[in-house]
Structure 1
Amino acid sequence: MAALFRWTVRVVAAVLILAGVALAFVYYLAARSLPEYDATRPARGISAPVEIVRNHANVPHIFGETDDDVFFGLGYAHAQDRLWQMIMLRRTAQGRLSEVFGERTLRIDDLMRRLDIYPLAQQAATMQTPETTAMLRAYARGVNAWLDRVNDEALGRGAPELFMFSNDVSPWVAADSIAVMKLMGVQMASHVQAEVLRARVTLAVGADRLVDILPDAPGSGVAAMPDYASLFDAAPNRFAALSPLPAPDPLSPVAPYGLGGASNAWAAAPARSAAGGTLLANDPHLGFSAPSVWYLARLELQTGGVIGGTIPGMPVMLAGRGAGFGWGLTSSYLDDQDVFIEKLNPDDPGEVLTPEGFKPMESRASIIRVKDQPPVTINMQWTENGPVLPGQHYALSTITPPGHVTSLGWTLLTARDRSMGAGLALMRARSVEEGLAAGADFVAPSQNVTMVDAERIAMKTFGRMPRRDADHATEGRMPSPGWETQNRWRGTEAYAANPEFVAPSGGIVGNTNNKLLERPFPLHVSRDWGDTQRVQRWQRLMQAREVHTRESFIEAQLDPVSVTARNLLPLVGADLWFTGEPAPEGTPERLRQRALDLLADWNGEMNEHLPEPLIYMAWMRALQDRLIRDELGPLANAFSHVNPVFIERVFRDVDGASRWCDVVQSAPVETCTEISRQALDEALIWIGEAVGGEIEALRWGDLHQATHDHAVLGEVPVLRWFVNIRQSTSGGDNTLNRGLTSGRGANPFLNIHGPGYRGVYDFADPDSSLFITSTGQSGHFLSRHYDDLGALWRRGEYVPMSLDPALARAAAVGVTRLLPME
């Protein structure tokens, strides 16, 4: 027995030693790719020495004698810190993920090939101005200089992920950067999803009820919707079954409905600033990831220094400031997409109907290589309206009648795209006038650009707006017959037609993705807006002060108060507050009363430490589901987030909307009060099962965790504990400090989409400006800069944003000097 024990101990010890050796070897290989920031290296492709000074937050301050050398340095820094991220962005745009991940990503590659993103980027690269071409090439040389170093010195293949996915890494070229910008357009687009969902709801419950569940943003510009099936002379049962939407893939660039781009930006003129200088605050909202989408950098250009947020893969600064000019971005929600239903020729499926009769579609074969599987050949087709998309994408099969196919019109899908040059012009702008002029060449993705100089503030929508016919059958809100002349685009509107607000009389301008203006179709800009709620809180905060400061702008950025909660709770609980007989402890009635008592004293602050936000969110989620599930069936799953305008319409009985409270399958006629009470009970049962404990001890932040997950390694057991970053957060779907919930899965309240970048610039003292990102600068999970900024971001803190070289050098984590090779 003793001998058996000794041998057991020896075997266990041997296994532990071997495991330790294996872990040490893995750590050694992974650590080889950690960049050395304090070094002097020769580099091919620069005309003079380039210096990359990384400040205490690991933000590179890049200095060179020419702009081309500075952009070279940015490419070098991006590749040092975010090589895997850049490779993934490029592969996604190219439709080549399946070479790495196999069949899992075949659908993604199929879509990207059919959209023709990368070939269009290659063509666009030949159409740039000489200045833009020089920038793109210099940046690519910088990326490739780092790749050469990795290969020459065996630096762990440049990123730890590349040990698991050992595909070759090709040199970076100018078209790659343009493709990344187009890919960002794919990620932020949302109008296809909205059009398809409207059509599906119309098929399920009719056009007359669509205005309730998918209402237009409040305002006078509301138009009646046509019956979708009648557009094609078909009955609703002729369309595919209303099946639930597939679960989103974290590698897919297509955002589910409600998860497109968002953002906040606002500016104050000197007259509204306590210090007498202009103020600007900006926090773009994108999906959270580890590392963050954003990468901070400072570039010392010939026109002056600029500092702010970049996206690895692109040489332009998307949001930031110079010495006397600053700019910020918000998604404009400009309607730059239309879905067309194309009628096939019954005698020749290669032809579709046009106003001039049947015409053949263009077609081209494309081969998708799939890891460990035979390659897949797809036949890509285009009509005069755009690329043909199979029904597997965007749930198009559910709204395409038999004998038809679906095509997509989109301003993004053009080779005549000089958006990158517009970004360069914006970085070099020194005044509002120059900033406004910079947008003339911008195509997509459309953005509202809020800008300030020393004296003036302005906001302008950048991006091409389709020119539609006033008689368009659906006004672009639902798919339309592609063979009818009035539904087809007639080019694009002039840049002057885009919304513009310069030096407003009130001295404040801003956007929370809210409706910008009221113009009749077809110059309406959009029927879908990203916000009807945050703007109400923003207006109150801006009007509450005669003058603003940097601190008041920060307070607004971090504001967790939900106007939505303040508006909805008195409505849905009108007949529930302080009513009914006292109930004994342990009964559902008593639990409901305790929950209502908490909510009655709550001010709507979505604070991570409070129980009320969780009770409120669970209640509204259960309530909306009860209102729509009986009519929509599985399609109700597409409504993963509460639509506050819908809830308000129902409980105010706007145009008879209270009819949604009645359960159509039941004999009794249910009232809204009954449904509200049942939804609260259901929410409390869910909380008890999912969280447990006393409701007074609940914490919103325990469920509302920001999910900065690694898109690939984040799913690997054990490893995910090292690469994923989770943080308890305040805010919610409709707060200025936005933390959009997932709306899906076991925990539908995970915070998955929000301000990955925050910047606040005070031009009375520009070097007092501040910024922060949600994770860290490095994409290497062994680096101390992988998540060091995340702790500050979570607490609502910032780091200084100075253009003073001396401050950058003070306590720098390293200085890289690149010397031209002889």
Structure 2
Amino acid sequence: MFTAFRWLLRIVVLVVALVVAGLSLAYYFASRSLPDYNEDFALAGLDGTVEIVRDTADVPHVFATTDRDTFFALGFAHAQDRLWQMTLMRRTVQGRLSELFGERTLAVDTLMRRLDLYGIATQSVAAQDEQTLSALKAYADGVNAWIGVVNAEAKGRGAPEFFLFSNEIAYWQPADSIAILKLMALQVSSHLEREILTARLSLLSEDWVRDLLPEVPGQGTAALPPFASLFPTVPRSYAALDIPPADPLSPFRRGAFAGASNAWAAAAARSAAGAPLLANDPHLPFSAPTVWYLAHLELGSRGVIGGTIPGIPAILTGRNDVLGWGITSSYLDDQDIHIEELNPGDPERYRTAEGWKPFVTKKAIITIKDAAPVTVTLRWTDNGPVLPASHYDLGSVTPQGYVASLSWSALDPADRSIGAAIRIMRATNVAEAIEAGSDYVAPSQNLTLAGPDGVGIVLIGRMPKRDPAHQTQGRMPSPAWIAENRWQGFFPYSENPRFVNPEGGIVGNTNNKIVDRPFPQNVSHYWGDSQRVQRWMRLMQEREVHSRESFMAAQLDTTSPAARSLLPLVAANLWFTGDAAPEGTPERMRQRALDLLANWDGEMNEHLPEPLIYAAWMRALQFRLIRDELGPLADEFNHLEPLFIERVFRDVDGAGRWCDVLRSAPVETCDEIARQALDDALVELSARFGSSVESWRWGEAHQATHDHSVLGKLPILKWFVNIRQSTSGGDNTLLRGRTAGTEPEPYLNVHGAGYRGVYDFADPDSSVFILSTGQSGHPLSRHYDDLSELWRRGEYIPMSLDPELARAAATGITRLTPEP
């Protein structure tokens, strides 16, 4: 017995020792890719000595004697901290994810090959001006210099992820940077999905389109023909195709997670210190690390500081010494779906206004890890690439014998957007920045500006010109062979909406409707916000003058205008009603919940129960209102549509009919549905958080999910690489925290401001910014998540262009010298 025990003990000790040794070895190899920010390098391609000064937050301050060396150093710094992220984005836009992840990403790769964004980016290189091309090449040289160091000095393959996946890293090319900007355009585009959704609803009922997808208040739009009248053979019912759930690696976001953002600026007359102010917080899907990266570049006679995206050699949101700029998604309708008729006798030809025409086709081979390669045939029409039926369930609105193609401004091979972005950060006033935006194509943005000549907003991005006789006005797929449905070119940049130095002295955008023009100059039928803008206008008008602190407070505001407007409507006949109910009964819980909501001011604070009750109630209410009519299509509406709820409870155009359950004999009232939905919500919340309503906390359900796109799903590792935090805010607050909307955790905060910046030109070096994670993409780096807690608490770090301050707070200085 004793001998058996000794052998068992020896085995246990051996296993523990092997585990410890394995973990130690894994840590050693993974830590090899942590950069030493005090290391010096002699590199080819430099004009002179460059210093990359890292401050305590790991923000690189780049000092060089030429602009070319500055862009070289930015590429070097990006690669040091985000090499895996950069290569993964490049593989995504190239349609080469399956080489690493197998068949799981084949659908993504196939669709990316069909769009051919990388091929178009490669063609776009020749269209760039000399200054832009110099910046792109220098940046690529800097990225490649770090890849060369990794290979020569065995620096852990460049990132820990490369130990689990292929460690082959192709050298960076100028086209790669252009392609990543196009990838961002893809991620913030939502009109394609919106067209399909509108067509689906139109097949069921035109009234439902008006109620569920209403026009943002303002001048109305001429009635559209029913979708079924355009394509009579499309079934008048909806049956979802067998489409796999979205992969975390997919860039194809649902419309609810398309680009959002806030930006506002105050002229000197509206500033307490007598100089312009600007605030910006772009909203994108959360990830670890965030897509944003802070940097300070010294270019020519001035410094530039702000937010970059690794892979792109430009400060996309930030300031120089005299000018600040911020970006918000404009919601310009720059996508149209065309239904192409196939020739019954020759399906390789499609119908045009001039007759039948052959597709432009080519083969693409997709290499798949652990599987045979797949060859796909890519087809293009005059309107654009042909899309698969599975894309956003496009097949449900495409008749037999037809295919769908996409027109999209980002498919322009002469796109000079990246050059425009570089010129904007060199501008010295609002007028120069507006002029610099003339070459910008996609992703379309509202560019908010503050400078010595005042403040302004201009829509940058190419606006498609549609024929006034377009059958669907771009709101639904249209017959491609009818000439009036095709794009007629683009409007000149001078017709893009712009607002410069308005009388009130303040400009801003929360993705709200910015102009009220008739079609086809209308910009869009679909806008990203109808709620946040209400709160923003109130906060701006509450003060005669603003300060850096008031702009920061507005960025961090958690009051929901949707909650303030909807609760009095929905609960108008439920407040303080009902008989006394004993403790422990559903009636008593409902009374307690209503008592809390009756005294709530709409603040979506993480420490309160009211935001959770409100969010769950509205979610259950919308589900009850639409499920019996829409069936499985109701799953597409998994976020609160405030304008729809308001239409129903105000009975606008008879929308109160949604309260009646079609399949039941009684005629239900809206009060009955509201009460039942509240009970549904309380049952759900009780099961998750216990029966004590007062102890529920919004932040417990509304955790920000900065998850690693690859390692974040792996057992054990996910606890080390994912960053989860309790957060305030919600879908309709200025401190926006877009909820997941889907089970099993519908209230998770998955989309918001990965970057915040406030720029004060009374004292430019008092400007501030912050990231939602950290600068490094290396999970073992202390800079992987060191900014996340500051971000969660609504704090910022200094945003200074002062070289002495950067050096005084330096935690590392990397010197790059020309190779002998």
TM-score normalised according to structure 1 size:
0.99
Where do 1:612-627 residues align within 5 Å?
A: 612-627=610-625
Measured in 1, the distance between the counterparts of 2:6 and 2:650 equals 77
**Measured at CA, do residues 246 and 527 of structure 1 come closer, stay the same or move farther in structure 2, by a change above 3 Å?**
farther
Q: Is the 8 A contact 1:240 1:397 kept in 2?
A: no
Match of 1:69 in 2: 69
Q: Deviations over 1:663-701 (max 9, x none)?
A: 111111111011000000000000011222411001100
* Post-superposition offset of 1:6: 2.6
Q: 1:659-670 alignment to 2 at 5 Å?
A: 659-670=657-668
Q: 1:245 to 1:624 in 2, by over 3 A?
A: farther
CA distance in 2, matches of 1:693, 1:52: 55
Residue 229 of structure 1: how far off its partner (Å) = 1.2
Superposed, 1:142-161 pairs within 5 Å as 142-161=142-161
Instruction: Assess if the C-alpha contact under 8 Å between 2:123 and 2:413 holds in 1.
Output: yes
Residue 225 of structure 2 aligns with which residue? 226
- Structure 2 distance, partners of 1:575, 1:225, is 37
Between the aligned partners of 1:25 and 1:114, the Cα distance in structure 2 is 43
Do 1:608 and 1:729's aligned partners in 2 also have CA atoms closer than 8 Å? yes
Q: Within 2, Cα distance between the matches of 1:245 and 1:672?
A: 34
Matches within 5 A, 1:610-689: 610-689=608-687
Are 2:272 and 1:253 equivalent residues in the alignment? Answer: no
The answer (yes or no) to whether the contact 1:421–1:441 under 8 Å persists in 2 is: yes
- Structure-2 change in CA distance of 1:691 and 1:223 (3 Å): farther
Shift in Å, 1:223: 3.2
Residues 243, 635 of structure 1: 8 Å contact kept: no
Tell me the residue number matched to 2:460.
Answer: 462
Task: State the distance in 2 between where 1:336 and 1:654 align.
Answer: 31
Q: Show CA shifts across 1:78-103 (max 9, x none).
A: 00000000000100010000000000
Alignment of 1:364-513 (within 5 A): 364-513=362-511
Please name the residue that 2:275 is paired with: 277
Q: 1:30 to 1:799 in 2, by over 3 A?
A: same
- Give 1:646's aligned amino acid: F
- Pick one of 298, 301, 316 that aligns with 1:300: 298
How many angstroms apart in 2 are the aligned matches of 1:595 and 1:240? 37
* Distance in structure 2 (CA, Å) of the matches to 1:373 and 1:235: 37
Structure-1 separation of matches of 2:286 and 2:259: 12
**Aligned pair 1:745/2:752, yes or no?**
no
CA separation in 2, counterparts of 1:20 and 1:801?
43
The equivalent residue for 2:122 is 122
Distance 1:538 1:252 in 2: 33
Change (3 A) 1:216 1:329: same
Q: Aligned pair 1:315/2:313, yes or no?
A: yes
Taking a change above 3 Å as real, the CA distance of residues 510 and 312 of structure 1, as seen in their structure-2 partners, is same
Aligned counterpart, 1:213:
212
What are the Cα deviations for residues 340-398 of structure 1, in whole angstroms up to 9, with x where unaligned?
Answer: 11111101101111111111111111100000111100000011111001101121111
Instruction: Give, in whole Å, the separation in 2 of the partners of 1:257 and 1:817.
Output: 45
Instruction: Give 1:656 shift.
Output: 0.1
Letter of the 2:512 counterpart = N
1:299 Cα offset (Å):
0.3
When normalised by structure 2's length, the TM-score is: 0.99
Q: In 1, Cα distance between the equivalents of 2:456 and 2:309?
A: 24
Runs of 4+ residues deviating >6 angstroms = none
Shift of 1:455: 3.8
Secondary structure in 1 matching 2:584: coil
Contact 1:240 1:399 in 2 (8 A): no
Q: Residue 703 of structure 1 is aligned with which of 698, 701, 704?
A: 701
Shift of residue 56, structure 1, vs aligned partner: 1.1
Name the SS for the 2:787 alignment partner: helix
Deviates more, 1:163-172 or 1:181-190: 163-172
| Alignment partners' CA distance in 1, 2:242 and 2:744 | 17
Is the CA contact (8 Å cut-off) linking 2:157 and 2:167 kept in structure 1?
no
Counterpart Cα distance in 2 of 1:381 and 1:620: 44
Aligned equivalents of 1:447, 1:571: Cα separation in 2:
35
Shift of 1:243: 4.8
- Report the counterpart of residue 360 of structure 1 in structure 2: 358
Measure, in 2, the Cα distance between the counterparts of 1:231 and 1:206.
Answer: 15
Contact in 2 for aligned 1:53/1:61 (Cα 8 Å): yes
**What stretches of structure 2 of length at least 5 have no aligned partner?**
none
Q: Which amino acid aligns with 2:260?
A: A
Q: Which secondary structure state, in structure 2, belongs to the residue aligned with residue 314 of structure 1?
A: coil
Q: Give the CA deviation at 1:770.
A: 0.2
1:520 to 513, 518, 527: 518
Separation in 2, partners of 1:303, 1:374:
55
Alignment of 1:186-205 (within 5 A): 186-203=186-203, 205=204
The CA deviation at 1:240 is: 6.5
Structure 1 unaligned blocks of 5 or more:
none
Q: Conserved in 2, the CA contact under 8 Å of 1:319 and 1:329?
A: yes
Matched, 1:549 2:534: no
CA-to-partner distance for each residue in 1:552-608, whole Å, 9 max, x for gaps?
000000000001000000111111111111111111111100000000010000000
Q: Deviations over 1:256-289 (max 9, x none)?
A: 1211000000000010000000000000000000
Question: Which amino acid letter does the alignment assign opposite residue 4 of structure 1?
Answer: A
What is the aligned partner in structure 1 of residue 56 from structure 2?
Answer: 56
RMSD, aligned α-carbons: 1.0
Partner of 2:86: 86
Aligned residue in 1 for 2:323: 325
**How far off its partner does 1:208 sit?**
2.3
Q: Deviations over 1:455-508 (max 9, x none)?
A: 400000000000000111111111111111111001111001110000010000
AA aligned opposite 2:53: V
